[in-house]
Amino acid sequence: MNVGLFIPCYVDQFYPNVGIATLRLLESLDVKVIFPMEQTCCGQPMANSGFQRLSAGCDKNFIQNFADCDVVVGPSGSCVLHLKEHLHSSEQPEEAARLRGNVYELCEFLTDVLKVDALPKARFPHRVGLHTSCHGQRGLGLSSMSELVAPKFSKPEHLLRLVDGLDLVPLTHPDECCGFGGTFCVFEEALSSKMGKDRVNDHLRHGAEVITGGDMSCLMQLEGVLRRQKSSVRVMHIAEILTSGN
């Protein structure tokens, strides 16, 4: 299986450690990974702002980069969801459709494709709060949703429970939105900040030392609030925690 590593633009630029952890995690599970060097952005910022038509360049670039890959794996539920729902090409419609069906969020790939049920080296003796990102949860179905009458499950939680010493804290609102929302965080700044603050407080109230999740964009929002509060609580992408003992 030829696995292409998709590192979203903001992870590439601001959180290279998340990319490194993702790569190492996959390699530690004997997955051969290639990183196409000319990839940029999934196109979601434009599409969510009402300019899906302006993401054609991104789509074309993405398809060119990942054409040789059987599957694509990325450490971001939000970007992966965008690709799954909206990757489009009028020139290569079949290739776009093939990639739409073969792009995975990291946790989804680990649990559903690799069926990981042990991470012998992983050790992280801290109290951890899991921020469940909306696009991963409700869009990709990575975990059950509090609104639905359905059995409870969580793919990220399943993985975190494989980590030695990790203490997962319960939250009052397990699946409330963090308020990032792409350009929402700028155009609705006051609301977005308040949502971020409330989200952080839920984790702090339950004694989290680290907030983790599958989307660095949500975590960047929470980190922004924590840093402003000069809090010692850190954010870490789930890939960083899953590789913590390596």
Partner 1 sequence: MNTASPKHAKNAEAFLRDEENTDWHNETLWFVRSKRDRAAQSLPEWEELREQASQIKAHALSKLDDYLIQLEENARKNGIIVHWAANADEHNQIVLDIMRKHKATKIVKSKSMLTEECHLNPFLIKQGIEVIDTDLGERIIQLRNEPPSHIVMPAIHLKKKHIGDLFHLHLGTDAGADDPQYLTEAARIHLRQKFLLADLAITGVNFAIAETGGFVVCTNEGNADLGAHLAKVHIACMGIEKVIPKAEHLGVFLRLLARSATGQAVTTYSSHFRKPAPGQEMHLVLVDNGRTRQLASPDFRNSLKCIRCGACMNTCPVYRRSGGHSYHTAVAGPIGSILAPNIDMKEYADLPFASTLCGSCTNVCPVKIDIHQQLYKWRQVLGEAGVVEPAKKVGMSGMDVLFSRPWLYRFAGRAGRWLMQTFPTLANKASLNPWAIHRDMPKPPEQSFRDWYAQQNKKTNG
Nearest-CA neighbor of 237 among 82, 4, 25, 6? Answer: 25
Half-sphere exposure of 65 (CA within 13 A, CB side): 20
Q: Does 185 bind partner 1 (CB under 8 A)?
A: yes
Q: Point out which span in 3-11, 90-98, 103-111, 161-169 binds partner 1 (CB under 8 A).
A: 3-11
Which member of 3, 41, 110, 242 binds partner 1 (CB under 8 A)?
Answer: 41
In the complex, the smallest distance separating the C-beta of residue 109 from partner 1, rounded to whole angstroms, is 18
Q: Does 144 bind partner 1 (CB under 8 A)?
A: no
Q: Point out which span in 87-95, 110-118, 142-150, 203-211 binds partner 1 (CB under 8 A).
A: 142-150
Residue 71's DSSP bridge partners are 3
Q: Which parts of 148-177 interact with partner 1 (CB under 8 A)?
A: 148-150, 173, 175-177
- Residue 141: what are its φ and ψ, rounded to 5°? 70, 40
Residue 189 exposed, middle or buried by CB count within 10 Å (0-12, 13-18, 19+): exposed
Q: Which parts of 198-217 interact with partner 1 (CB under 8 A)?
A: 198
Half-sphere exposure of 125 (CA within 13 A, CB side): 0
Q: Does 13 bind partner 1 (CB under 8 A)?
A: yes
Please say which residue, 12 or 167, places its beta carbon nearer to partner 1: 12
Nearest-CA neighbor of 223 among 51, 54, 14, 32? Answer: 14
What residues contact 127, with CB distance under 8 A and at least 6 apart?
A: 167, 169, 207, 208, 209, 210
**Contact characters 48-77, partner 1, x per CB under 8 A:** xxxxxxxx-xx-xx----------------
- Asked if residue 238 lies in contact with residue 213, where contact means CB atoms within 8 angstroms, the answer is yes
Site size with partner 1, rule: CB under 8 A: 76
Please say which residue, 78 or 166, places its beta carbon nearer to partner 1: 78
Q: Which parts of 214-233 interact with partner 1 (CB under 8 A)?
A: 220-221, 223-225, 227-228
